[in-house]
Amino acid sequence: MVELKNKNALITGASSGIGEAIVNSLAEKGVNLCLIGRNVKKLTQIKERFKSLSIKIELYEADLSKEEELKGIADFFTSNFSTLDILIHSAGIISTGSTEQAPVIDLKLHLNINYIAPYIITQSLLPVMRKSKGQIVFVNSSAIQRPIGNLGQYSSSKYALKGLADSLREEINADGIRVTSIYPGKTASVMQKRLYHESNKPYQPEKLLQPEDIAITIRNILQLPMTAEITEIFIRPMQKS
């Protein structure tokens, strides 16, 4: 198994949900962390939680929907860390609306956060990642498995993310970099709670995937020996909600 202690990781969407659970899981393994998110107060609280551990944690406040705020991420990371071993794209948004009525501005927001931000961040960090022969993980969605009405904007952005991951894998496997897409089903989160309320359905988080389920799965993928690569994982709740 690959030893994670003292590895360096950059995680987007680190202040809540799946992203925060990933942070917790990797911190426990002694991974140094660069946390990207809009809520710097929450990121600071997370950093404070791990002050007793001998790991390095740096925070970068950014709105991933704004391209100008993405450009400083690579410079910030390379000025604070010598290598990049793990890059995890966990940030994402979702909103509902029919193709006929959903505003185009919402489509652009989905594409900016769910697809363009991972593209730009990955592109800017590939040179440093080649040095460490690390791993990139894209947190996608099981929404790509079947058509879902009123989620066209979200699904489109996630299909685009899958295309990015699959093409990237073909380009950089030869450099020793692994690329994994993970496709969670419905996961207990503030975002999922909002969707249930919007559809007038009872929200029962105990019947959904837990963010920790995704985090543990990703950690296990990262620890896999370098002789193997998991390209895709679909994970779903055991119970129907």
The catalytic residue among 60, 115, 154, 183 is 154
Active site residue 115: no
Where does 57-101 show beta strands of DSSP type E?
Answer: 57-61, 86-89
How many CB atoms are located within 10 Å of the residue 210 CB? 16
Residue 122 carries which DSSP code? Answer: H
Q: Give CB contacts under 8 A, 24+ apart, made by 159-167.
A: 160/111, 160/114, 160/115, 161/89, 161/114, 161/115, 161/118, 162/138, 164/115, 164/118, 164/119, 164/122, 164/138, 165/136, 165/138, 165/140
Catalytic residues: 154
